A and B are shown apart, each in its own frame.
Chain A
Amino acid sequence: MTSKDKDQNPKGPSDNGAEPSQKGLSRRDLITGGAAAGVMAGAVAITPAAAQAEAHLAGPEDIEWDYEVDVIVVGGGCTGLPAAIRALDLGSSVMIVDQNYDLGGRLAHSGGQTSLGGGDPIQLRDIAGDPDPEGFITVQTAHTVEELTEDPDHLFRDMTDWSIVDGAAQAPYRYNERDLHRAWADNCYDTRAFLMDNYLRFGRIAGTHGTGGMTRARRAVPFLMLGDTTDIKAGTIAYADAARDSEGELIERMTAFCPRRLGDGSSVANENAVTGGGIMARCLEFSAREKGAEVMLNRHMDELIREEPFSGRVLGIKASYTPRIANMTGQRLESFWSNGNVDEKKDVIYIRARKAVILGAGGHPGNPEVRSMFYPAFRDPVWGTSGQALLGRERGADGSAIVAGLRIGANLAGMQQNLSYATTFHVSTRVATPDAYTDMYPGHPTFPFRESTGFTMSANTMEHAIAVNQVGKRFYNDMDLMRRHSSANFPGGSIAPNGMTGVDIVQGDWRNCSRDFIRGMYQRYAGMDAALAINEGSEPPDFHPGPLWAIFDQAAVERAELDLRYPFVSDNGYFFQADTIEELADKIYAQHQFQRVPLTYLRETVDRWNGFADDGSDPDFGRGEDAPLHRIDAAPFYAAAIILVWHDSYGGLRINGKAQVVDMQGVPIPGLYAGGESSGGGNQHGIGRATVHGFIAGTNASAETGELADPA
């Protein structure tokens, strides 16, 4: 189907049962009238001859555009979906281009934590104790009125507070771009309302999500009610889609609806409510498709096309076909819903954007070369990004926005801000799976890309194991390896300055980061850094540190009550069992993709450890004071891959308060917008940041006239 077909076939009831909606414009649009022209400018397919300029120097004028729309949205996640819907609401035709086989991006495996604030509609609702329109919510917020009361000015001050430091003594708000956060704070109200207009039902406010500010409660998660069928309009989700049996109990089985099990919504909504980013992704996707978004999946944005290499308007994108093929069947993965899909299989295509391109293409943690600018040891490809099974290990969060933006002169921002948030890169407590950030169970089409769910080795559980590097040597206190420092968000917890939490914290007070205070609260662990250290198996020029292994024995399995069965473990090269330590080392070397060298020292390390257990102390790494030492000696023996997860990213393209990408001279690049992890200069974790960016970008992109710098 081409874009032209779409114009010829206005959308009737779609194949997900969606009816054309009257929903769309949020409160402010209705009040102000806004820029909504009310005209649906549909996409048209361009015939090659019409767009073909005379053959001279190769340039944008020579491009045969395969498709043309008003707004191209690159990436169908928590930036792209709001951006697309907003642009559709304001009358633009929209094509969402996503490298994956389905929409949702990383939003789909998130917790759906949407931290906004500034007096947003959910804060106001919960202050009043009002019900939700459908009456699903049966609980009240746990917060006081004071903890929910604020305005955008207060939120802006929180988000740019120079004085707040996190448990790693890094300042998450100090370096935030001011123009960007002024606009972010000013648009939180409208974005929350807009999300609610697009099928998101938020539970009560509960705390604040990571780096969403210190002094007020701002987080709400979207929920659906467990029911017989999944019906976005009715607000219900089938038990199976929520990974639950008919009694509501969790099961070890997913459907294609959601990549990971949904959360328990009883504390924020209703005992029959489930929460999560999977819900958020599907609800927004449902709305976007219903409103007429064209969706080109399996399509990776490779380049941005600008009038001149470093000047003029962004005209469109070059994108390549990236189907995901299931290992077992050899079949291409197909999206859960298909209405609006444009199934284009051509290797390389060009898509023209009459108004603008919006980059919601995610961050760069999946690209070892790009992320290594922050931490060279992370160039080792052994570590994937979170959700790699869902997103695809090769192209998920691969830094494509940065790569394409730099080629046309865009600037970067906030590149150092990757170094603050404790989740950005960390040692996961989930072991024995390559995709260690979340759970995931058989049944979802991307489960075969991880093949195991993994199991939890909490910091305490590491009492029963040792952690070794690629040559089989210990490198850190194993029980501290997975501990992380606290992030700086409401109410502050163990890192709250001056013993004050929440509403009592004084914004911008120098005492918040006095040296004495930081000395007392500093809590960063360096296990990850030790894990990344150069070891005897590291080879120049990159000196890759290689994989890590938790080594334990049968006695540990019993003491720690580990459940070592499928789907938690499988023979995917991330979990091994052997009769002897020697054979365990041999199996890892033979069967793990990134185990480049033998675990030469493993036998020696285990013997040494057992000697420490005999002696009751660990002179190498100081264990034994807080928890018992246990020998590793009872067959069979086990190795579970310990995974360093690079989850998200903060550095990215510099954007201004209109979400326009800004060039190296500080000038906005006409026709180019970005948000979420494709942008930098905002150290807020997750969806709260991205959804507002998407909303702002969609608003401003729609208002573009598309005027060329050089109309000739």
Chain B
Amino acid sequence: MVGEKTRATSFSSIDVSAGEAFAGSNAALSARIICDPPCDLSGRTIEIFDGNGASLGIARVVGCDDDFVNLTEEIAIKTPTVAGETIWHAVLAAHETDGIAYSETSSPFTVMVAPHPVYLSVWDVPYALDAGKSATIKVGVKCGAGCDMGGCDVAVLNETGDEVASGKAGVEPWPGTESLHVAEVELAAPQKDGEYSWQVIRISTGDAIDHDESRFAFKLRVMPKPQVTVTIETVAEKTGEPISGANVVMHPYRARTDASGTARLRAAKGDYTIVVSKAKFDPMSASIALNEDFRSKVELVGEEPEFNPDDNY
């Protein structure tokens, strides 16, 4: 027994859990420490150093279990702004505990520093855009790690990767969102009709912190010059009153009815299915072969619940 207590050499192993953290944010870190021979380190501390030897923080041992596994408190340590693997060191200074001298222990560990995810969304892209016409689309940008994307730059790239439009996200979050910043971007349709697959990107130059390069693809359908006009007038079957805000879809053309219940579509000649819908009415559809201007009055029937609630209980 006496011999053991006077042993001069001993060591500790340090097992650090740091998990994955976003660049330029806080990593949660805690350590498990085991000594040989076992000892209770409660009250002692370990210090965390980066690869250059700069101190990042100190964690206190808060408890020792029955198996002499010492646990530190969880501390937050600032991560680098550059994404990637980084090696840090946890150091337990030399100490004497229960009459045993333990040497300094330094244990390297890896922290995965992730770039911030960037979520892009695109809306208000017309389902059909006439050749040479322009449209204003919305591009939403959000950082998944909480960076303010207000004022950031976005660009639209065409199918060959050339920038064809750009915009700047608004400073205020978009209505109804926590922190989605939206740019309004004006697009000019190509002169030739057809389907185009374009992309939206966020311009990341100048980021202080690494972010994912995010791309969001969308389809742009460019139509040949329209030849005919379709006019749809919607009324409620029961009252004859005009219905505003009804969806009139003749794929890929679509419009909504105005206050007078009327929607006008300029379309190329061809075969179409016209579908008309409006909240609280049953949708209607009809097939037409469109060779000339077309006008129709659509009477929408009020929606009957599949089960009258009064029959239902």
Contacts and interface: CB of A to CB of B under 8 A. Distances in A.
Interface string A257-285: 00000010000000000011100000000
B55 to A, nearest CB: 35
B245 A559 contact: yes
A463 B306 contact: no
Contacts of B179: 579
Contacts of B282: 460
Contact of B249 (A109, A579, A582, A628): A628
Nearest to A422: B307
B19 interface: no
B311 A628 contact: no
A614 B219 contact: yes
A696 to B, nearest CB: 24
A15 interface: no
A209 interface: yes
B176 A460 contact: no
A461 interface: yes
Given A460-B277, A561-B279, A616-B251, A580 B123 contact: no
Contact of B119 (A582, A614, A617): A582
A110 B119 CA distance: 46
Contacts of B249: 628-629
B261 interface: no
Question: For the side of the interface on A, what is the size category?
Answer: 35 or more
A460 B245 CA distance: 16
A631 interface: yes
A142 interface: no
A438 interface: yes
Interface stretch (B29-37, B138-146, B152-160, B289-297): B138-146
Contact of B142 (A277, A579, A628, A629): A579
A210 B178 CA distance: 47
Contacts of B180: 579-580, 635-636
Interface string B50-94: 000000000000000000000000000000000000000000000
A458 B303 contact: yes
Contacts of B307: 422-423, 484
B84 to A, nearest CB: 23
B306 A635 contact: no
Interface string A608-634: 000101101100000011111111011
Interface string A24-56: 000000000000000000000000000000000
A626 B306 contact: no
B123 A636 contact: no
Contact of A559 (B124, B140, B279): B279
B202 interface: no
A417 interface: no
B267 to A, nearest CB: 13
Nearest to A277: B313
Interface string B275-313: 101011111010000000000000000010111011111
Given A461-B279, A635-B180, 18 more contacts: A110-B313, A111-B310, A111-B312, A111-B313, A275-B310, A422-B307, A423-B307, A438-B313, A460-B279, A559-B247, A579-B119, A582-B144, A614-B127, A617-B251, A627-B285, A628-B275, A630-B247, A634-B121
23 contacts: A109-B313, A112-B313, A263-B310, A423-B312, A438-B313, A458-B305, A460-B277, A463-B283, A482-B306, A484-B306, A554-B176, A561-B279, A579-B119, A579-B179, A624-B275, A626-B275, A628-B247, A628-B254, A633-B121, A633-B122, A634-B123, A636-B174, A636-B180
